[in-house]
Structure 1
Amino acid sequence: MTIHVTYQAWTYEMVRERIIEAAETLLLNPASYGPRLIGMALFGEYKDEYLRGEGTRVRRTPSAHALAEMEETWSWINDWLPEKDRKLVYDYGFIMSRKGLTLKVWCERNGWIKRTFERAVSRCCQRIADELNRKYHVRLTMPFDALSQIRAKHASFEVASDSRAPVKPKLYHRADDATPTHTPGSEADIAKHIEKVNQQRREEAERQRKAALTRAEEEAKLAAAVEARLARKRQKQVA
């Protein structure tokens, strides 16, 4: 049996769509009136529409899944982008989710060239996509055969003592414009290591099989010798 392990990589288009969806979800949230004014505000809204002869409107509310994705998207922007890029991405989501406002008009009002603004947004979205793909830095694309170990042999029940020495965490620095890199030859090295481990497991399995056959033959010989000894003993008793 061969198992192929793959994953779906994030692209800047997918991140850009998530930003627009998060902005649309934010616009669906009702305004917060506070504990004292909420009842009066709702009553006034429906009363004024009734007096004007308008039909009652029902406000659409976002689903729990949409709210969770919105919060997750905001965390991407706030954690992985500097302040200048965060403002840029938030403005883009606001523009694309508001009716009556086009990207061209907004760029003309704010001194941007439309193509330059789109490239800047794509750069920010690509950085978020790179951070998401960094979680899958080890890409398991090699096939595994039946002898490959894909799960732990046993669980560890050992608990460390409270008197253990404290471990000082190691600090590291990562530049703001850091991007994931691919080391040439790494997949070949991984393939060679997997083949070496599989060969060792095959040899160990063959050794255990031969040892089991040897034990079975020895047990059969011992049983035959015992049976022959009992037979000779019975013959002497009869004689």
Structure 2
Amino acid sequence: MKYEAWTWKAVEGRILEMADTLRISPSVKGPKMFGNAMPEPVRRYDEAYGFHAARYQESASAASLSRMQQAWQWINALPSEADRKLIYAWSWVKVRKGMKLSRFAAENDMNDRMLRREITRICQQIANNLNQIMLVRLNNDDCSLSENQPDITSTTVSSEKCATHWIAPDGKPQVDPALAKSRVIKPREIRARHIA
């Protein structure tokens, strides 16, 4: 894996994934405020299972949950509280149904383009922070062994035969005389040996 610099678009995608993961995460359910905590019994035939259309509840994967926590760390590292609140609220509105982004922008005293510029600025600031952290990591003594080096492995075969770099120039490969003359896997003989 090679290092690629973070861009504002990649950061924005991670932030939207964070909000979507938070949206599909199960909410905390506590005891009922009143009445019995047991579910209602099925009383009518049309309330039985299978009468209504089937529903599927999406669940978050472990990888998306860990990326969500990572995105939270990025956002919480921002110095401006107003930027943090704006990016959290924008991402939450963006992944949910019901509210248009133009209405969200109007509630925050902006128009659509100004909101887009603010979100891009904040995402670029996060990307700059991530790239700065990565550049500091890549300035170590082991940079020559780092993952951002070009591919230096050979793509050609050194010889037409097998690799003989470990044999002396005048040497011959040693063959154990105890081995069978024909070195072919014979499954029937192997099975017969295991059964007996």
TM-score range, shorter chain: 0.5 to 0.7
Asked whether the 8 Å contact 1:23–1:93 carries over to 2, the reply is: yes
Consecutive unaligned residues of structure 2, counting only runs of 5 or more, are 147-196
* SS class of match (2:15): helix
Q: Which residue of 2 aligns with 1:82?
A: 80
Q: Equivalent of 2:67, from 42, 66, 69? A: 69
User: Do structure 1's residue 50 and structure 2's residue 50 form an aligned pair?
Assistant: no
Q: Which residue of 2 aligns with 1:30?
A: 26
CA pair 138-29 structure 1, distance change in 2 beyond 3 A: closer
* SS class of match (2:23): helix
Asked whether the 8 Å contact 1:6–1:140 carries over to 2, the reply is: no
Between structures 1 and 2, the one with greater helix share: 1
**TM-score normalised by length of structure 2:** 0.58
Asked whether the 8 Å contact 1:28–1:61 carries over to 2, the reply is: yes
Whole-angstrom distance in 2 between the partners of 1:112 and 1:149: 48
* SS class of match (1:80): coil
Give me the CA root mean square deviation.
Answer: 3.7
CA pair 6-105 structure 1, distance change in 2 beyond 3 A: same
Structural mapping, 1:185-200, within 5 Å: none
Q: Which residue of 2 aligns with 1:166?
A: none
Q: What amino acid maps onto 2:69 in structure 1? A: E
Structural mapping, 1:1-239, within 5 Å: 7-34=3-30, 36=31, 43=39, 50=47, 53-137=51-135, 150=145
Q: Which residue of 1 aligns with 2:194?
A: none
1:96 is displaced (CA, Å) by 1.1
Q: What amino acid maps onto 1:101 in structure 2? A: M
1:56 is displaced (CA, Å) by 4.5
1:100 is displaced (CA, Å) by 3.3
Whole-angstrom distance in 1 between the partners of 2:144 and 2:63: 37
Whole-angstrom distance in 2 between the partners of 1:126 and 1:51: 52
User: What percentage of aligned pairs have identical amino acids?
Assistant: 34
Consecutive unaligned residues of structure 1, counting only runs of 5 or more, are 142-147, 152-239
1:125 is displaced (CA, Å) by 0.7
Q: Which residue of 1 aligns with 2:172?
A: none
Task: Give a deviation string over 1:26-59, Cα, whole Å, max 9, x none.
Answer: 110122113x45xx77945x99993795334231
The number of aligned residues is 139
**TM-score normalised by length of structure 1:** 0.49
CA pair 150-114 structure 1, distance change in 2 beyond 3 A: closer
CA pair 149-57 structure 1, distance change in 2 beyond 3 A: closer
Asked whether the 8 Å contact 1:10–1:130 carries over to 2, the reply is: yes
Task: Give a deviation string over 1:80-118, Cα, whole Å, max 9, x none.
Answer: 342111001011101210123221122234421111111
CA pair 47-18 structure 1, distance change in 2 beyond 3 A: farther
CA pair 15-51 structure 1, distance change in 2 beyond 3 A: same
Higher CA-based Rg = 1
Whole-angstrom distance in 2 between the partners of 1:41 and 1:14: 45
Q: What amino acid maps onto 1:132 in structure 2? A: L
Whole-angstrom distance in 2 between the partners of 1:14 and 1:47: 51
Task: Give a deviation string over 1:49-88, Cα, whole Å, max 9, x none.
Answer: 9379533423111011111111110111012342111001
